[in-house]
Amino acid sequence: QGTFLVTQAVARALVAAGAPGGSIVHVGSVVGKVGNLGQVHYAAAKAGVQGLTRSCAKELASLQGWCRWDVSGTPRTWPMSSRSWRPPRAATSRGPAWR
C-alpha cells in the first residue's frame, strides 16, 4: 500500500508542477518475475510493484513523465553462496545465538 500511496502523491505533485520529464522510480526484485522458494508473500508484493510501475508509466506518458522499475537482482552473500549452508553446530545444539 505504501508504494501506491507515495506514487500517487508524487504523480499529483508532478502534474501540479506542470514540469514535463519527471520520473518515479520503483525498486523491484527479480523474485517478482520468477518467484522463489519460501517467498510467496515477497514475490506477490514485488509482482504488484511491477504492475503498478507499468500502469504508472502509461498514465504519465501523456504528461511526458516516466515511471521506471529498477531490478538490480539479489546480492550473493555468504549464507546464500551454498544451498547446503547450515548454522554453526554450537548455535543448533544450545539454541539460537541471539537468545
pLDDT tens-digit readout, 54-98: 998 888 888 788 888 777 665 555 555 555 555 555 444 444 444
Model pLDDT, residue 9: 92
Is position 42 annotated as part of the catalytic site?
Answer: yes
Exposure string for 44-80, b = 16+ CB within 10 A, e = fewer:
eebbebbebbeebeeebeeeebebebebeeeeeeeee
pLDDT, tens digit, 9 for 90 and up, residues 22-58:
888 888 888 888 888 888 998 899 889 999 999 988 8
**What does the domain layout of the chain look like in residue ranges?**
1-70
What's at 40, amino acid-wise? V
Which of 42, 47, 48, 66 is flagged as catalytic?
A: 42
Residue 6 confidence (pLDDT): 92
